[in-house]
Structure 1
Amino acid sequence: MKSLLPCALVLLGACSSPAPPAATAPAGAPTDPYRPVYHYSAPKNWINDANGLVYTNGQYQLFYQYNPQGPTPGHLAWGHATSPDLVHWAPQPVALTEYKNPDGSNTMIFSGSAVVDSANTSGLFPAGTTDGLVAFYTGHVERPGLVLRQRQELATSRDHGLTWQRYAKNPVLDIGSKEFRDPKVFWYAPQQKWVMATVKADRQQVYLYESKNLTQWTFLSRWGRAGNTVKEWECPDLFELPVPGGGTKWVLLISSGGPIEQFRGQQYFLGQFDGKTFVPDQPYDEPTYLDFGKDFFAGVTFGNAPKGRRILVGWANNWAYAPTVPTGDQWRGCFAVPRELSLRRTAQGLALVQQPVAELRALGKEVLNVPNQAIPAGAAGYEVPFKGESYDLSLTLTPGTAKTLALNVLQSTAERTTLRYDVARQTLTLDRTQSGNVDFHPMFASSLETARVPLRNGKLQLRLLVDKSVVEVFAQDGETTLTDLVFPRQHTGRITLTAEGGTAQMTALRLADLSGAPAS
């Protein structure tokens, strides 16, 4: 969580009065031109980083940075939503809010994580409790205009995250720093202990600690200053994934600078972890990015999802312009659709693959299934016989003799968001310069987002999740992703395909209309 735009939280049960319940959706929500239909956004006010992702009581618990007082950063709390299936979300009462210290300073609750203390290793729950939740967050201590320190604190819940109690002996970890944050805690079974990954943000380093009881922490090691070090490091996540053919790799996620230098983004590193030290597989002189769009940040995962799935949730926005996105005075911010992570062997080596959770397929209604369609050269191209602004579109393209392929979505007379593929360079570019309202901030449409996407067996496979103001692109079955916000002024919702320099072939197209499939 950025220290310049703090998030604040206070625990229920630790305050003199309960935190207010989450507001109900505004009466005009269904007609809001930019509020997504199947991407989660809070009923009102500001949100950013996902926090405390945990599965308990048959529900996925999503906590997140939330401002109870308005649609801009500040006074942020851990908002809360629950879901039985990762696609239908129910807002819950605010979980944690900022609090005053005896010396008059203020502690804001920055990003963190949550675990189920099933064996009551902490001793903080009644004997026999197997479902107690422990949340870890960064206590950001400040006075107006002055950051005093950042330290790690914890809170407990006995009712699956609905109410919380701050630990009386907080902080549990304090190194006297103003840039020490974002604890991610997980159980390391081989040594029967808890591990905490934090960041020393200004040093671009991950600090690792261990504990047997969640309240007393001992330093293990540090690692970092690799990949992208242009901006501070934030929101670490460390977990293990199986490798196709046998074995495992540990994956370290870091939110940092992005593929375009002026913007934030997220990178990942593959390596091994022995309970003490993370050792990367390679020097990572160059970054390996999680998403090549501008609007995917602070993605973290559920550590205990059923069936061993590793599910990622990221904030769909960018700090370069996030406080000014033109969604009005009721709400600001949403999350990308949860993504399931896996490793895949590719021609370029082992890669982290992201795919929308399978549960998304149950939403909406399939309205198109086109097995084959020629795309003639020229501006006329092929128009998909569907108009809309919230849908799930999958297609496979064979470039043929074409030099460039273009897929336009959210298209009207003068607006479009374009996904362009350069056949010779094998690059995929997301272009929102003509997407509608782009002048609310000078950086919003200041550059294009481009990623290298090699053809596979001569084909380009794409899946687009389009949802009013969000476009998520998954190329080659999730080997590359690009996520961008867009704000159309016109709402015709056309979809067209064009080929330049020759003809191309679309060998498959599937479209599901999700306009009636709300995320909450």
Structure 2
Amino acid sequence: MSRIKYILSILMACSLNTFAQQATPQWRPDYHFTAPTNWLNDPNGLIYLNGEYHLFYQYNPVENKWGHMSWGHAKSKDLVNWEHLPVAIPEKITKDTTTMIFSGSAVLDKQNVSGLGNGKAPILAFYTADLPKQRNESQYMAYSNDGGLTFTNYAKNPIIDLNKKDFRDPNVWWHETSKQWIMTVAMVDEHQVRFYGSNNLKDWSMLSDFGKQGNQGSGWECPFIIPLAVDGDKKNTKWVLMISLFGPKGPTMQYFVGDFDGKTFKNDNDAQLTLLVDDGDSFYAAIPWNNAPNDKRILLGWLQPGGRETFPWKGQMSIPRDLALKTTPAGIRLFQQPSSVIAGNLKKLAQNRLISKQNLAINGELKLGEITNTNWIEAEFDLRDAKNAGFKLAQLKDGQGKVIKEIEVGYQADKNELYVNCSRSEKGIKNDKNIIQNAKMNPVGGKVKIQILIDKSSLEVFGNGGEKVISTMIFPDEKARGITVFAKEGSCTLSRLKIWDLSKK
């Protein structure tokens, strides 16, 4: 569950904006998930069932701002086209108590060990019940026997209650080796993750705590842990523990790589080392799908809203990402790629609207025309002697044809940095410290690969096959559609370029 103080500061700023109630279709994404109306934040209860990806999410069914937190619900077969469903778990208000339904997870109780199924495996949802009047957060369970359309709260809730104000975001999964269900929960102010174990999903015993390592600059939230094969070798599996928190840029996620034995997680790296999931200023509260096909680990995060108000919706999800661990000179590191569920379906999604070019010599700037700003771009640069190469996107021209606004995405070869530069488009909208965002990344054989996913108001940039990722929110003018490829202080070759148009026309 995302941080209230941060959200309220956004809302206060937006309340002063006279633009607040004007429809903003120019910024509603086409291939990223948004609710039909109103506020959303963290993804919750991600689970794959019967050929469909279910997405539950933090949702305000009443208005277009944070509050009345409930679990919204949608499902999809391709992770792009979503069927919106009724609210699955609504906020509960009584005379004395308000119970908001904060973040959590969902599992399929295949063996009905909970005894809550009615002849078939029930879906069990685990969430944090936030009681603001009592200043208490505890862990609740609810169950569904109709495929997740409706849930009934477990009669003996709470299943875990420490009488704490900040204790949230249960993530539950099956650990085959120890033959038990595992839950991770955030001990927010202690900067710790607490592990619990259960045989029946109802009675939970504490196993261990992990924490006080990595970035401890703010409260820890939304923890989860998954196994990943190193370099694709299933005989060499490591565990990845992820945490959400607020860092120097704002929304931040860090990860730890190590071992988990069914009770304790041990970090392989120095306790002071901070490894970032995303080097941007927007990606937050991500969790993976449970039960995904072929045991694939697909991560989905919330892209926190930027400095503009949108209406009649606010908030969107990231592109789903496939996760992998790879050996690098710095050690074992996380790699992320836009999910193959979508990438393998681009031809159909784009309806054959594809621009494809090869071996373009770039010295200075080369205009590529206009795009829809709902595009999936893949490029490979042979840097040669260029100190800087990349793209200028969302270019807006004045009446004389001069570019007056643009967003630059590229690679700074003399600094070994992937970067996003919004200095000519987002000043006064973004925090000044986030106008330029970068991530250290080395070329491979003198080449760099850049994937750019631009979708109206979101920008996700993947470098060298997902070694680095920068995600951020942007708010280009509706007519800002120019795209240019460039090389500075030398020349380069654009070895390969593909631009898919994913707009829903």
TM value normalised by structure 2: 0.91
Q: Does the C-alpha gap of structure 1 residues 463 and 446 become closer, same or farther in structure 2, counting only changes over 3 Å?
A: closer
Alpha-carbon separation, structure 1, partners of 2:99 and 2:203: 21
The 5 Å alignment of 1:426-441 reads 426-436=416-426, 438-440=427-429
Deviation at 1:516, TM superposition (A): 2.4
The 5 Å alignment of 1:300-339 reads 300-317=287-304, 325-328=308-311, 330-339=312-321
Aligned to 2:333: 351
SS in 1 for 2:294: helix
| 1:420 equivalent in alignment to 2:410 | yes
SS in 1 for 2:189: helix
| 1:59 equivalent in alignment to 2:52 | yes
Unaligned runs of 5+ in 1: 8-27
Q: Does the C-alpha gap of structure 1 residues 511 and 449 become closer, same or farther in structure 2, counting only changes over 3 Å?
A: same
| 1:299 equivalent in alignment to 2:283 | no
Structure 1 stretch 504-513 or stretch 347-356: which is displaced more?
A: 347-356
Unaligned runs of 5+ in 2: 8-21, 398-403
Aligned to 1:511: 499
Aligned to 2:12: none
Aligned to 2:187: 200
Aligned to 1:272: 259
Alpha-carbon separation, structure 2, partners of 1:367 and 1:57: 32
Aligned to 1:252: 241
Aligned to 1:116: 108
SS in 1 for 2:31: coil
> Do the aligned residues in 2 keep the contact of 1:65 with 1:78 (CA within 8 Å)?
yes
Residues 404-445 of structure 1, C-alpha deviation per residue, up to 9 Å, x if partnerless?
Answer: 224111111211111132212101121223225x535x6277
Q: Does the C-alpha gap of structure 1 residues 136 and 515 become closer, same or farther in structure 2, counting only changes over 3 Å?
A: same
Aligned to 2:16: none
Structure 1 stretch 246-255 or stretch 490-499: which is displaced more?
A: 490-499
SS in 2 for 1:359: helix
Residues 311-352 of structure 1, C-alpha deviation per residue, up to 9 Å, x if partnerless?
Answer: 10000116xxx5x53213x11011011111111222322211
SS in 2 for 1:202: coil
Residues 131-184 of structure 1, C-alpha deviation per residue, up to 9 Å, x if partnerless?
Answer: x100000000112xxx52100001000011101101111000001111100000
Aligned to 1:90: 83
Alpha-carbon separation, structure 2, partners of 1:486 and 1:513: 18
Aligned to 1:468: 456
SS in 2 for 1:360: helix
> Do the aligned residues in 2 keep the contact of 1:5 with 1:73 (CA within 8 Å)?
no
Alpha-carbon separation, structure 2, partners of 1:432 and 1:151: 41
| 1:125 equivalent in alignment to 2:117 | yes
Residues 258-277 of structure 1, C-alpha deviation per residue, up to 9 Å, x if partnerless?
Answer: 3xx15121011110000000
Deviation at 1:286, TM superposition (A): 2.5
Deviation at 1:257, TM superposition (A): 2.8
Deviation at 1:492, TM superposition (A): 3.2
| Residue identity opposite 1:105 in structure 2 | T
Aligned to 1:70: 63
| Residue identity opposite 2:59 in structure 1 | Y
| 1:50 equivalent in alignment to 2:65 | no
> Do the aligned residues in 1 keep the contact of 2:2 with 2:285 (CA within 8 Å)?
no
Deviation at 1:57, TM superposition (A): 2.5
Partner residue of 2:201 out of 197, 201, 214: 214
SS in 2 for 1:227: coil
Alpha-carbon separation, structure 1, partners of 2:184 and 2:432: 32
> Do the aligned residues in 1 keep the contact of 2:249 with 2:433 (CA within 8 Å)?
no
> Do the aligned residues in 2 keep the contact of 1:5 with 1:74 (CA within 8 Å)?
no
SS in 2 for 1:456: coil
Alpha-carbon separation, structure 1, partners of 2:391 and 2:477: 19
Q: Does the C-alpha gap of structure 1 residues 262 and 352 become closer, same or farther in structure 2, counting only changes over 3 Å?
A: closer
| Residue identity opposite 1:2 in structure 2 | S
Q: Does the C-alpha gap of structure 1 residues 6 and 371 become closer, same or farther in structure 2, counting only changes over 3 Å?
A: closer
Alpha-carbon separation, structure 1, partners of 2:314 and 2:264: 39
| Residue identity opposite 2:441 in structure 1 | V
Identity %: 37
Alpha-carbon separation, structure 2, partners of 1:461 and 1:407: 12
Aligned to 1:482: 470
Deviation at 1:385, TM superposition (A): 3.8
Deviation at 1:85, TM superposition (A): 2.0
Deviation at 1:5, TM superposition (A): 5.9
Deviation at 1:69, TM superposition (A): 1.1
Deviation at 1:6, TM superposition (A): 11
| 1:341 equivalent in alignment to 2:331 | no
Aligned to 1:148: 135
Q: Does the C-alpha gap of structure 1 residues 286 and 447 become closer, same or farther in structure 2, counting only changes over 3 Å?
A: farther
> Do the aligned residues in 2 keep the contact of 1:6 with 1:74 (CA within 8 Å)?
no
| 1:4 equivalent in alignment to 2:1 | no
> Do the aligned residues in 2 keep the contact of 1:188 with 1:195 (CA within 8 Å)?
yes
Partner residue of 2:378 out of 394, 410, 429: 394
| Residue identity opposite 2:258 in structure 1 | G
Residues 74-99 of structure 1, C-alpha deviation per residue, up to 9 Å, x if partnerless?
Answer: 11211101011222211110111111
The 5 Å alignment of 1:364-403 reads 364=350, 365-377=352-364, 381-403=365-387
Q: Does the C-alpha gap of structure 1 residues 425 and 262 become closer, same or farther in structure 2, counting only changes over 3 Å?
A: closer
> Do the aligned residues in 2 keep the contact of 1:201 with 1:232 (CA within 8 Å)?
yes
SS in 1 for 2:342: helix
Deviation at 1:2, TM superposition (A): 3.1
| Residue identity opposite 1:476 in structure 2 | N
> Do the aligned residues in 1 keep the contact of 2:195 with 2:208 (CA within 8 Å)?
yes
Structure 1 stretch 112-121 or stretch 422-431: which is displaced more?
A: 422-431
Alpha-carbon separation, structure 1, partners of 2:152 and 2:300: 25
| 1:451 equivalent in alignment to 2:439 | yes
Aligned to 2:395: 411
Alpha-carbon separation, structure 2, partners of 1:385 and 1:204: 49
> Do the aligned residues in 1 keep the contact of 2:240 with 2:257 (CA within 8 Å)?
yes
Alpha-carbon separation, structure 2, partners of 1:170 and 1:368: 55
SS in 2 for 1:489: coil
